[in-house]
Amino acid sequence: MTQRILIVCTGNLCRSPMAAALLRARLARDADHDWIVESAGTWAQTGRPASAYAIAEMADRGLDISGHQAQRVTRERLADAELVLVMTKNHAEALKSAFPDQADKVYMLSQLVGESYDILDPYGGSRMEYAYTAQELEELLDEGYERLIELVEGEVE
């Protein structure tokens, strides 16, 4: 059975497309997990491309998100995912409130490393802000990788 992970931010232009690309790259190094990683936004305008600095930051890491098109979170996307990772407490609360039947699979990305803090949105900021966010996402996904696997495979309460 194919496992799905949905990564959510606000506009689906910066954080979630970068995190999805980084996670896909991490999963590609692990032959045990051939999962689908998608991203969406709570307020996304469908079809918008990733921001230029997000594209540049991923290109610096050998990842291409230039074809990314924003999509909005839907009940179907949530239902299809085994795990939903969000960037902020507000994202988590909004999804849990709008889709209470899916609440048990919604986690803040920072929770992968046992913390609970928001990932700042670099949208409209400098290239340095994007670089900082990309680095933070990369570190959280690397450090929280084993926890992520446990959550997807349902091995954790």
Active-site positions?
Answer: 9, 15, 121
Strands in 13-100 per DSSP E:
36-41, 83-86
User: How is the beta sheet containing 36-41 ordered, strand by strand?
Assistant: 36-41, 4-9, 83-86, 106-108
Paired with 108 in beta bridges are 86
Paired with 72 in beta bridges are 41
> CA–CA separation, 69 vs 106, rounded Å?
23
Strands in the chain per DSSP E:
4-9, 36-41, 83-86, 106-108
